[in-house]
A and B are shown apart, each in its own frame.
Chain A
């Protein structure tokens, strides 16, 4: 098995416009004119020369303006449309949530529609029977399941459609703008379900206008404009580039500054933690230096448990601002967000940003389990347009004597009462085979002081 889930190579798609602007020829006119040629007079290129690959288990977002070719791209991946040129390859079972409940028949019951919809999505009758209760439970409308679907509200319709689609157990799930439907509660349930699927290794492709979802759920994003790929790579960067392009407020000097900062858009950007800092933004305000410091103000590259630590940012102001937000994020090397916040989220309203200065994010203790971490620092407007976004600007190692797991270590200790007793040992000498203990010690050495 190859490691990609989806691979598009030089894919173009043209929609044909049939004669005289009307889509349909009639057989009568064709016969009368003795012209049964099925050649279109003009065509519109909806997608032009797009190439990208999506890895197994990756969450991939596609963003762009209306009519930019996003949905066409999704339909090409799903196989609903065939490319005019180029090739689309997909590994595994694909489920497309392009329209929820497409194929529900209004006259028959929810129960029967679950079967039909499931079969249309590629399940066998037996597989549906096995999942039936889960589907009904997820939909949250068990009391209506034996009613004809025509009596459902549109919300119930959508619930049932989503419930069936996510229980198909696809290898690749394509989602077009459907997470925005349903009430708050159900929306949250959908997002949670999608995160669960992502965790289980399902490859996800989203088309959406909800940029927050792209930032939060996706590993990579593609911004497509007029059918051509504009930028591909880190979702935060791609969303930001898109926002920059969409906002017409961009001034000339700012654009020059942006060009200066811009990293070139590579065809296939590194998926996650390649070790390089990524940086983008308009450049009106710049984080000229970002470091991790201890309580005395010395720079840190490794930290042990309980160390007081601050993120220090030197701010250079090129164009004074009155709308600005400082933010930081701490990520585990595997991409998990440990913590993220910004001044806006914490109720700090911007007043003025006129001259250079320094921002410090002070943490009296940063208790991380052992591992490699990276820090993102950013200054941006309140609606998310970046002045300077530095992804992975700091990389550091957290060490620990205890090999606990996770990303967060709450302050804790063990307490025993009654007839339960332990005695403490030196953790380095624990009862493990000698060679393993040695390997463990070796592995920990480069992490420096602990």
Chain B
């Protein structure tokens, strides 16, 4: 609870640091924030080519759009979590030399990745509009639910970011472990395919256990398929988000006092 109160008090700080993060990242680069889109766009291009020309999948059409709807939330999740592992150690000066609310650091990381995610949405919407004009897809009102999904996902990501950021100060290899897990996670999240099409039972079970599954599926539901997220998925998202925040606050609270000396 203490953490939450501190956070409210430092909301200006978080906003300013996020702005600093973004400004510093794009200063001196001509393409600015489009660099943050480069990675998902590249992924999109590669997978579209692979699955349109090499292993054509007639079941999902238009496939690039389907991919796009899943890749963006996944990128937000994986990039924010991975970067938050170093958010505290790379700001050691602040933790050791300034009275600084350490909780702000992973949240700044999450916030700046959320900004990237939000800025990528117009590109996705434009693509959707393009396909809709072409007659491949109809735009549904469910798109309006995207912000709700974003809020839930941000809470989920923030909780994990707080956990791993503080834990990685004590366990320096956490980042390497997570990098590998994320690579694996990309394939056990239904981004490239639909859960229903998976034949193998154990793999299906694994997909169900992956906390990112309900999020990605729900984004696909509202953005691509144009229907409401399933009840089970909705409840799971709420459960995961609450559990994640509780875990983040607890772990961070437990470790906060040791950060300044362990760093």
Measured CB to CB, the residues of A under 8 A from B are 15-16, 18, 23-28, 30, 38, 75, 78-82, 94, 96, 98-99, 102-103, 105, 107-108, 112, 115-116, 119-121, 124-125, 148
Contacts and interface: CB of A to CB of B under 8 A. Distances in A.
Contacts of B100: 103, 120
B16 A15 contact: no
Contacts of A148: 27
B16 A116 contact: yes
Given A108-B23, A112-B20, A27 B260 contact: no
B13 interface: yes
B227 to A, nearest CB: 41
Contact of B27 (A38, A96, A108, A120): A108
Contacts of B167: 27
Contacts of B258: 16
B204 interface: no
B170 A24 contact: yes
A80 B174 CA distance: 25
A112 B177 CA distance: 36
B94 A27 contact: no
A80 B177 CA distance: 30
Size category, B interface: 20 to 34
Interface in B167-181: 167, 170-174, 177
Given A99-B97, A120-B100, A26 B173 contact: yes
A29 to B, nearest CB: 8
A232 to B, nearest CB: 25
Interface string B138-179: 000000000000000000000000000001001111100100
Interface string B236-263: 0000000000000000000001101110
B200 interface: no
Contacts of A94: 99
A82 B171 contact: no
B61 interface: no
Contacts of A75: 96, 260
B17 interface: yes
Contacts of B126: none
Contact of B13 (A26, A30, A119): A119
Contact of B262 (A23, A79, A102): A23
B180 to A, nearest CB: 12
Given A38-B170, A98-B98, 19 more contacts: A16-B262, A23-B262, A24-B170, A24-B171, A26-B173, A27-B167, A27-B174, A28-B177, A30-B171, A80-B95, A80-B260, A94-B99, A102-B94, A103-B100, A107-B24, A107-B27, A119-B12, A120-B94, A124-B12
B92 to A, nearest CB: 10
A36 to B, nearest CB: 9
A105 B24 contact: yes
Contact of A120 (B13, B28, B96, B172): B13
A112 B28 CA distance: 16
A115 B16 contact: yes
B23 A96 contact: no
Nearest to A14: B261
Given A26-B172, A81-B261, A124-B12, A108 B24 contact: yes
Contacts of B262: 16, 18, 23-24
B130 interface: no
Contacts of B24: 105, 107-108
